[in-house]
A and B are shown apart, each in its own frame.
Chain A
């Protein structure tokens, strides 16, 4: 089970309302390479992993990604807090406002809702861990694009933290994959 901690993994500050920045950052909430995809992908793939290292790592990184989803949600919430419908519309969030007002929703910047087809679980541990490494790189690239788009240094600071976590996760998944390949080849010998 999971236990909630009434705090964020990393503090989130914003310089002020910024619906234009919120509009693009929502992709790391509910876009294809966002934190919802990441957390659900890893927590769901755990069950078909044959090694304890892979099971443990997917549990822990999946859990950390839930905390990252909360960080991204907090950024969006703070950037749109108190923003008028007219300002939402002018920032390209008119569609979001029409359907969700100031509530959060899992979509990409174009409003395309999150779908389970963004993630996969093949039951083949090599395939799944390779997908996970790929997912971390896609998320890293997306955070870099968001850093290029950000005009709020406080938000950029958080985006840099999140980007760096993707790099670490990629590294750890690579080590789990190497370990798994060793495990599978040793099984064939005996």
Chain B
């Protein structure tokens, strides 16, 4: 069984930093994205549960505790790799970073 994953391409927007290989930067991007995806999944799952169990205090506490963790991870990612959100939800450095590759289907 071939479990080898496709080797990710170097994102054009990220310049290799001194002493750090482009591949490592890409790994870091995916690692930070994975952390966001994991926290967001927790939020999605609790969100749907709360939609039909709005009085569950324990689930609500858990949901509320995930929110600041998720925000923190998104902020750290955006500092390094540019905006995750458009339409006024994230700021951009010069030049406008939103249009920079990679797009999600290329990662």
Contacts and interface: CB of A to CB of B under 8 A. Distances in A.
B75 interface: no
Contacts of A61: 48
Contact of A9 (B4, B41, B98): B41
B20 to A, nearest CB: 22
Contact of A11 (B33, B51, B87, B89): B33
Interface in B36-56: 36-37, 40-41, 44-45, 47-49, 51-54
Given A4-B85, A15-B5, A10 B37 contact: yes
B34 interface: yes
Contact of B52 (A11, A12, A179): A179
A61 B49 CA distance: 11
B30 interface: yes
Interface in A11-59: 11-16, 53, 56-57
Interface residues of B, number: 33
Chain A interface extent, by class = 20 to 34
Contacts of A16: 6
B104 interface: yes
A84 to B, nearest CB: 18
Given A7-B37, A60-B51, A61-B48, A153 B3 contact: yes
Interface in A129-180: 153-154, 168-169, 172, 175-176, 179
A74 B3 CA distance: 19
Interface of A: 3-16, 53, 56-57, 60-61, 64, 70, 73-74, 77-78, 153-154, 168-169, 172, 175-176, 179
Nearest to A104: B105
B104 A15 contact: no
B96 interface: no
Given A3-B89, A70-B105, A153-B3, 18 more contacts: A4-B87, A5-B85, A6-B83, A6-B85, A6-B104, A7-B37, A7-B107, A9-B41, A9-B44, A11-B30, A15-B3, A57-B48, A60-B44, A154-B6, A168-B45, A169-B48, A172-B51, A175-B53
Given A10-B37, A53-B51, A56-B51, A3 B85 contact: yes
Nearest to A6: B84
Contacts of B104: 6-8, 70, 74
Contacts of A14: 6
Question: What 8 pairs across the A-B complex have the smallest Cβ distances?
Answer: A175-B52, A74-B105, A57-B51, A56-B51, A13-B5, A8-B104, A172-B48, A77-B105
B6 A15 contact: yes
B18 interface: no
